[in-house]
Amino acid sequence: MSEFVYPPVIAAAKTMFRVLGLKIKVEGHENIPATGGAVLACNHIGYLDFIFTGLGAHPAKRLVRFMAKKEVFDHKISGPLMRGMHHIPVDRDNGASSYIAALKALKAGEAVGVFPEATISRSFTVKEIKSGAVRMAVAAKVPLIPMAVWGTQRLWTKGRKRKLWQRGTQILILAGEPMFPTRADDYEQVAKELRDRIQELVDRAQREYPVDGAGQWWQPAHLGGTAPTPEEAAALDEAELAERAARRARREGEREAGKPEE
């Protein structure tokens, strides 16, 4: 597979991080296999998580193919980059095609990155996850690597303005010990274990984080921050989905109204 885009993008990202003065710490990269397929499953707290999760695999010399929503690939700027880096588009109306594409990449020896919470966690805790990552690992017969990022939400997250030029922001990236699910396992139970392992990594990152988050918007409520509780975050997510559905219905109604009568 040709790699004309990915290495220059990584080099550009590292240069940008140096300019921004970001303090990035990677731990556990030895848990990511240097060769062969692997599913990297990470928590999701900000729009730049895929960059930092990929950076966490870079010491293992792996280029991670991330599964990302189709809209990112449709964008005139991000689309060519995503395709050039051989990331995998996820069409929510046709999930089977993205699943098949991910399996093909895994069986070809690629590392595939997923965010099993599906959407950004506004509470900065780990939401419930589905068993898709587990099913992919089992079908491709590859290890499943739990991962966590922390601090990325301070740069850019849902409901907050971008603060990319916030110098000195600390970013922690942790990779846990691999899991090896099989067809004999209960996939839903393994997904719960995966969530627990990701949460343990997040808890560890929060304990080790060198900045006191007490009273800060980016700190979870249970740690003294002002982020929404998981219950409040779920309500916000439901309201957003309802508004999105209403906008879609309005657009469809406008299109129907604009059609000429037969």
Full DSSP string of the chain: ---SSHHHHHHHHHHHHHHHT-EEEEE-GGGS-SSS-EEEEE---STTHHHHHHHHHGGGT--EEEEEEHHHHHSTTHHHHHHHTT-EEE-TT-HHHHHHHHHHHHHTT-EEEE-TT-S--TTSSPPP--SHHHHHHHHHT--EEEEEEESGGGTS-TTS---TT-TT-EEEEEE---B---TTS-HHHHHHHHHHHHHHHHHHHHHH-SS--TT-TTS-GGGT--SPPHHHHHHHHHHHHHHHHHHHHHHHHHHHHHSPP-
Residue 254 resides in a domain: no
Give burial (CB, 10 Å; 0-12/13-18/19+) of 254. Answer: exposed
pLDDT of 175 reads 98
For residues 31 and 145, is the Cβ–Cβ distance under 8 A? yes
Q: For residues 112 and 54, is the Cβ–Cβ distance under 8 A?
A: no
pLDDT at position 262: 56
Q: Check residue 27 and give its pLDDT.
A: 97
Asked if the structure places residue 152 within a domain, the reply is yes
Residue 224 lies in a domain: no
pLDDT at 48: 94
pLDDT at 261: 63
Residue 223 included in any domain = no
Q: Structure pTM?
A: 0.93
Q: How many domains does the chain have?
A: 1
Could you list the residue range(s) of the whole structural domain that residue 13 is in? Answer: 6-213
**What is the chain's pLDDT, residue by residue, as a tens digit (262 residues)?**
779 999 999 999 999 999 989 999 999 999 999 999 999 999 999 999 999 999 999 999 999 999 998 888 998 989 999 999 999 999 877 778 999 999 999 999 999 999 999 999 999 999 999 999 999 999 999 999 999 999 999 999 999 999 988 889 999 999 999 999 999 999 999 999 999 999 999 999 999 999 999 999 999 999 999 999 999 999 999 999 999 899 989 988 888 887 766 5
Other beta carbons within 10 angstroms of residue 219's beta carbon come to 21
